[in-house]
Amino acid sequence: MSTAAATTLSNIVEAIAGVVGEQNVNTDIETLKKYSGDTSLMSARMPDMVVRALNREEVMGIIKIANENSIPVVPRSSGTGTYGSGIPEEGGIILDLSGMKRIPRVDTRNRWVLLESGVTFGELKDELDKHGMQSLNPLLPRKDKSVITSVLEREPVLTCKTECDEPFKTAEFVLGTGELMRTGAMCIDRIPPEEIPDKTKSDLCSTGGPGIDWWRLLTGCQGTFGVLTVMNVKIFHKPLMQKVVLLPFDSLEDAVMPLYTIQRREVGHECFLLNSYDLAAILARDSGEISSLAAKLPRYCIVLNLWGGQFFPEDRIAFEEKAVAEIVGLYKCSVTETLAAVPDGNECIQGMLNGPWEGDVYWKERQLGGCLEIVFQNGLDKIPALWNRFLALAAESGISPQELGIYIQPRQRCRVCHVEFHIPCDPDGAELARIKAFQRKAAGELINAGAFFYRPYYDWADMIYSRAGYTLETIKKLKAILDPNRTLNPGKIKL
Amino acid sequence: MAFSEIAFKALQDIVGDENATTDPVLCQSYSRVQWTADGCVQRGQLGVQMRPNCIVLPRSTEEIQAIIKLANRYDFIFIPRGSGMINSAFTNPTQVMMGKGVVIIDPKHMDKILEVDKNNMYMVIEPYVNFAACQAEAMKVGCMVAVPPAGAQVSALANIQWHGAYGNSWISGLGGHQLLSFEVVLPNGEILRSGSIAQSGAEEDWVWGDGPGPDLRGFFRGAQFGHAGGMGFVTKISMRMFPWPGPTVFPTQGNAVEKESYFPTDKLRWYMIDFPENIQEYPKYEEEQLRWACDFQYEIAKAELAIVVQHNAKQFMWCWAARSKEEFHKGANEDFFPHGYNIVGCCAITSLEQLEYEEKVLKHIVDKMGGTFLSEDSPDPLDRERYKSWMRITNDWIRVGHSMRLSRPSDCFHQGTACVDSIDSVTDEILRANRQQRRELKEEEKGTHLLPISFHGGWISPTEKGYGALMTTDLWPEQEPEKAAEAIQLLLGSLKGMMMDKSAGLSVVLLGPAYDLLGPQIFNVHLLVKEMKKQFDPKNISNPPYATTPDVVPPEQLAEMTKVL
């Protein structure tokens, strides 16, 4: 950076320090390097400073200064992004929201929790345990993953119940100009959101409005439309009883109709499908055991958590078990409560349904230290063909199909399925470039085959928006209104 | 520029001579929507001036795109229309007052259900497909759709773009929840596809709504009341379906208004639940009853039961149950339903055992709370009659066969107030609105021409299994414009009351003049949406003044606009 620019930077650092205090502005090279990447294996990019904000006023102040000086602001809630959303493509400020840790209100009657951007799944679990409530978790999130980031990224939750599918209730966010905005019922006053239920006639339960459905527009935008400061999200009552059962299959095709039927008959609460590799990555006692364990596990397995709920739980579990037995009989498959290779597997899974991954190394990275993903959504009936195509491409590229993972998460009673293909890799290995090339090639082939890439991460945005007609132009017009100077996370989703 | 002969010829060239007309008689028939108070007022004020210049009936997205491109070239206004059966006057062509030509785009020819995906539980529809058709096709494949009390014949696409409140909102949510992928011709003539249909690939896939990237339903559908045609013409959508274990054809017996319907009780069971005895007197215990209904609904939410959960105001119940206008007024005068009732419908989605379980839990909850089930064996013979009367039509909550019964009392119906929030909050709004409006009736002698059944109880319709709720209070003016205007004045008064009380309803009422009225208090949201209107409708030709005007409205003009509204 030139001297002239440094002078400008120095002025900006000073101005921002005036908002957040000097101790919360960091420009030392080691810190900048730490924030230059995330867990995604995307190329790192250096920010100019890392600024830690602790409340909405500070977030507004920082963005206002940045906007006036054409400095990019990249919001970061936890730094455990898997998809490069928090990497500063054009330098500027990393806005570290991880210190915004308040959980100011839990409403058990209306089943929501109000939380700030820096609250992680681990912290939320601890708080909700006190109230007998449970959060709507994705599959084993990182313990330090921000809950709000997860919701904004539209990470699917484990429960397939339609009413639980979109946890977002209301929120507060800061536009690219530094102006404050609130979504849904939170907009009816400017008082702190946690006071709204007591001081107004709202319980923060209306997601829509004001005017447009901001809550939808903000999801999937990777922080390019606004920076979230606080949000209330749906939660649910812990069941009095629950029970995990497993349905093993030799082929993915065989699992399709049983999974459709389980969901159509609304059996159980959490439900998902894993192949042997991903199941082993979760259940193996140590990373060296993953491959051998995978060989002993069913090739594909539906994990289903039967749900006792709050009233007469034995009765509820009983009719759900009976329904599962009928479905198993109909499709001539089987159901088990134990896995021969992992006798306590069910208990392990049960324990994991209500919390983050507790291990030191994240489960997707246990085998080789890193993992590339391909993420899309489709109807369940289309997924086996896409998976087979992916495996064939892997074989062509010299990648062992036995070392690839698939995770299928039904949503809204299997109206659609979120799908992840996992490609374990060594982030420091010589093979990384080849694996990345395979990932890109496979993504392109899968898009052509009809996989819907609803989250345009990495360089997928080019592939996706080039096939999406007027969509990108539309998004750009909206960006010009909400963030006219391209202050917020410039470069993401081609904005 | 007035609507020109050149523009008309160009429209004829697009849709064919037989599908475009400037015939004043035909155009006059498009000059108003049905039976709403605001429509009556507009009609009274503007009369034949509300006649559009031209009606076009396109057959495809491409034809609509060509029409809208022409609108940009020749600077005429276009008004997207669904079935024309709407509970508000958003599509009334008042824009003739703007001095531009006005063309109504009537999608009558676009009446196809394009796809029913049984496994992935969605349906792709065009704008003129009504809910009755959707429900009939859904049930054939073991599914059901959201069911609007507004009627079977309304355009499903338009309803989902608009208010969308449903008899089965307990499972289906509101209008915005039903929308998956969509295709819209924007006011600038561009075609936007969003959701999974946006990504062209091996084949069209309408399965999902969000992405790629930001969820554009957030903008293009608008919030609770949509954009009312102010952001282009939506040409196709995919909508959600839900599991349905019942017969593939809806069972009915009798004909026309005498039609009755009963399901096998191993598939569907209805429950009509009364309040505890000590709070049954109405209106003395109105608040206690509504609070009890809230507690009851929260308990059902905790238990995760049922496909229908509602509290229905007494006049609302009688609107539905009566088989004629005469029967309605007789029943209302005799107070046949002395207060509101709690309605629950349980369905054997999983199995008969699940249905038995739900009944057991429901009985446990009602017993614990001191309520009672009405039945054919109720001790009070009147209760037995009430039960039978309601059971005769209760399936209409999932059948959409009941047409516009809400307009039956006076041929004119209007919502007194509406609100979306928690079950508790919407009940607060019912009580607030009723108190305010009764006071105005009594002390200020307003609403003298409203039917006396107005402002009782309220409709508490929980959504998403109790994660949210919708309410309305309802009022019945007469059709004469001056009398209907009273209803609108009361409505505006209620809006002001909402503002004073910081009611939860404020977040969802923004549309048209309400943007300028309330936007300055709501984070200046009107300024952002006005910029959006400018970006996508640079000539302000898509059903102005919706969603909002491109520029801030001066106070005196705003006063005039809200007077007309």
Query: Residues B501, B431: contact at Cβ < 8 Å?
Result: no
Alpha-helical regions (H) of B183-265:
217-220
pLDDT score at B402: 58
Look up residue A253 and give its DSSP letter.
H
Query: Residues B416, B432: contact at Cβ < 8 Å?
Result: no
Cis peptide before B165 (omega within 30 of 0): no
pLDDT score at B254: 83
Chain A residue with CA closest to B503: the answer is A201
| DSSP string for residues in A364-415 | GGTTTSEEEEEEEEE-GGGHHHHHHHHHHHHHHTT--GGG-EEEEEEETTTT
Pairwise CA distance, residues A152 & A217, whole Å: 10
**Per-residue confidence band for A1, with pLDDT thresholds at 50, 70 and 90:** very low
pLDDT score at B34: 56
Average pLDDT over residues B208-229: 90
Task: Render pLDDT for A276-286 as a digit per residue (tens, 0 to 9).
Answer: 999 999 999 99
* Helix, coil or strand: residue B99: coil
The sign of the torsion formed by the CA atoms of B311, B509, B171, A169 equals negative
Chain A residue with CA closest to B220: the answer is A212
pLDDT score at B403: 57
pLDDT > 80? residue B448: no
Chain B residue with CA closest to A477: the answer is B535
Percent of chain B residues past pLDDT 70, beyond the cut: 93
CA separation, residue A200 to residues A73, A188, A196, A207, B492 (Å): 34, 8, 5, 16, 20
What HEC string does A159-190 produce?
ECCHHHCCCEEEEEEECCCCCEEECHHHHHCC
Apex A189 CA angle, A188 and A195, nearest 5: 115
pLDDT score at A250: 97
Q: Does B369 touch chain A (CB under 8 A)?
A: no
Pairwise CA distance, residues B84 & B153, whole Å: 10
Note whether A216 contacts B192, CB cutoff 8 Å.
no
Task: Render pLDDT for A128-150 as a digit per residue (tens, 0 to 9).
Answer: 999 999 999 999 999 999 999 99
CATH of domain B261-405: 3.30.70.3450
Pairwise CA distance, residues B296 & B275, whole Å: 10
Q: Find residue A273's DSSP bridge partners.
A: A302, A408
* Helix, coil or strand: residue B144: strand
Report CA A180 to chain centroid distance, whole Å. 25
Alpha-helical regions (H) of A111-235:
121-129, 147-152, 196-199, 214-218
pLDDT > 80? residue B191: yes
Average pLDDT over residues A234-260: 97
Long-range contacts made by residues A464-469, C-beta under 8 angstroms, separation at least 24?
A: A464/B199, A464/B212, A464/B213, A465/A493, A465/A494, A465/B212, A465/B213, A467/B199, A467/B200, A467/B201, A468/B193, A468/B198, A468/B199, A468/B200, A468/B212, A469/B191, A469/B192, A469/B193, A469/B198, A469/B200
A241, A459, A474: which to substitute to probe chain B, counting the most B Cβ within 10 Å?
A474
Note whether B424 contacts A110, CB cutoff 8 Å.
yes
Q: Does A395 touch chain B (CB under 8 A)?
A: no
| DSSP string for residues in A1-61 | --HHHHHHHHHHHHHHHHHH-GGGEE--HHHHHHTS--TT-PPP---SEEEE--SHHHHHH
pTM of the entire structure?
0.96
Pairwise CA distance, residues A375 & A153, whole Å: 12
Sequence-ordered strand ranges (E) for B259-307? 268-274
Neighbouring C-beta atoms of residue B98, cutoff 10 Å: 13
What HEC string does B484-539 produce?
HHHHHHHHHHHHHHHHHHCEHHHHHCCCCHHHHHHHHHCCCHHHHHHHHHHHHCCC
Query: Residues A305, A272: contact at Cβ < 8 Å?
Result: no
What torsion, rounded to 10 degrees, do the Cα atoms B397, B402, B404, B407 define?
A: -80
Pairwise CA distance, residues B41 & B56, whole Å: 26
Rounded to the nearest integer, the mean pLDDT of chain A is 94
Q: What's the length of chain B?
A: 565
Pairwise CA distance, residues B372 & B359, whole Å: 14
Q: Does B526 touch chain A (CB under 8 A)?
A: yes
Pairwise CA distance, residues A72 & A485, whole Å: 9
| CATH match of B113-243 with 3.30.465.10 | yes
The sign of the torsion formed by the CA atoms of B76, B159, B125, B191 equals positive
Pairwise CA distance, residues A145 & A281, whole Å: 19
Average pLDDT over residues B228-255: 92
**Per-residue confidence band for B400, with pLDDT thresholds at 50, 70 and 90:** low
Query: Residues B276, B369: contact at Cβ < 8 Å?
Result: yes
Task: Quote the radius of gyration of chain B (alpha carbons, Å).
Answer: 23
Q: Does A326 touch chain B (CB under 8 A)?
A: yes
Task: Render pLDDT for B17-71 as a digit per residue (tens, 0 to 9).
Answer: 999 999 999 998 887 665 567 777 776 776 667 788 999 999 999 999 999 999 9
Pairwise CA distance, residues B466 & B294, whole Å: 10
Q: Which domains does chain A have, with CATH numbers?
A: 3-99 (3.30.43.10), 105-237 (3.30.465.10), 242-353+359-448 (3.40.462.10)
pLDDT score at B202: 63
**Per-residue confidence band for B88, with pLDDT thresholds at 50, 70 and 90:** low
CATH of domain B5-105: 3.30.43.10
| DSSP string for residues in A63-87 | HHHHHHTT--EEEESSS--SSSTTS
Task: Render pLDDT for A53-92 as a digit per residue (tens, 0 to 9).
Answer: 999 999 999 999 999 999 999 999 876 677 788 889 999 9
Average pLDDT over residues B545-550: 92
Task: Render pLDDT for B330-363 as a digit per residue (tens, 0 to 9).
Answer: 998 999 999 999 999 999 999 999 999 999 999 9
Query: Residues B180, B239: contact at Cβ < 8 Å?
Result: yes
pLDDT > 70? residue B404: no
Note whether A211 contacts B215, CB cutoff 8 Å.
no
Under 8 Å CB pairs connecting chains A and B tally to 335
pLDDT score at B490: 77
Where does CATH 3.30.43.10 sit in chain B? 5-105
Which one, of B240, B294, B173, B246, lies nearest residue B395 by Cα? Answer: B246
Could you report how far apart the first and last alpha carbons of chain A are, in Å?
Answer: 24
Which residues in chain A have Cβ-Cβ distances shorter than 8 Å to B535?
477-478, 480-481
Q: Does B205 touch chain A (CB under 8 A)?
A: yes
Pairwise CA distance, residues B342 & B249, whole Å: 27
Q: How far is B22 from chain A (nearest CA, A)?
A: 33
Task: Render pLDDT for A170-226 as a digit per residue (tens, 0 to 9).
Answer: 999 999 999 999 999 999 999 999 999 999 999 999 999 999 999 999 999 999 999
Average pLDDT over residues B477-503: 78
Look up residue A223 and give its DSSP letter.
T
Q: Find residue A93's DSSP bridge partners.
A: A49, A73
* Helix, coil or strand: residue A263: helix
pLDDT > 90? residue B222: no
Pairwise CA distance, residues A249 & A426, whole Å: 30
Chain B residue with CA closest to A379: the answer is B120
Pairwise CA distance, residues B471 & B163, whole Å: 12
B121, B144, B291, B530: which to substitute to probe chain A, counting the most A Cβ within 10 Å?
B121
Query: Residues B243, A260: contact at Cβ < 8 Å?
Result: no
Q: Does B466 touch chain A (CB under 8 A)?
A: yes
pLDDT score at B246: 85
pLDDT > 80? residue A39: no
pLDDT > 50? residue B565: no
- Structure-model confidence comparison of residues B560 and B138, the more confident one: B138
* Helix, coil or strand: residue B189: coil
Give the pair of three-digit tokens for residue B163: 């208010």
* Helix, coil or strand: residue B562: helix
Which one, of A175, A25, A52, A56, lies nearest residue A485 by Cα? Answer: A175
Which residues in chain A have Cβ-Cβ distances shorter than 8 Å to B351?
265, 319, 322-323, 326
Q: Does A255 touch chain B (CB under 8 A)?
A: no
Average pLDDT over residues A364-368: 94
Where does CATH 3.30.70.3450 sit in chain B? 261-405
Note whether B205 contacts A450, CB cutoff 8 Å.
yes
pLDDT > 60? residue A4: no
Note whether B120 contacts A326, CB cutoff 8 Å.
no
- Residue A355 has φ and ψ, to the nearest 5°, of 180, 175
Chain A residue with CA closest to B225: the answer is A211
Give the pair of three-digit tokens for residue B511: 């549309």
pLDDT > 50? residue B292: yes
Rounded to the nearest integer, the mean pLDDT of chain B is 89
Least confident of A438-442, B390-394, B424-428, B561-565: B561-565
Give the pair of three-digit tokens for residue B13: 């060239």
Q: Does A466 touch chain B (CB under 8 A)?
A: no
Within 13 A of B492's CA, how many CA atoms are on the CB side?
A: 18
Average pLDDT over residues A259-270: 97
Chain B residue with CA closest to A174: the answer is B523
One-letter identity of residue B442: K
Classify strands A227-237 and A112-116 as parallel, antiparallel or unpaired.
Answer: antiparallel
The architecture CATH gives domain B410-508: 2-Layer Sandwich (3.30)
Which B residues, 420 through 439, put their C-beta within 8 Å of a C-beta on chain A? 420-425, 428-429, 432
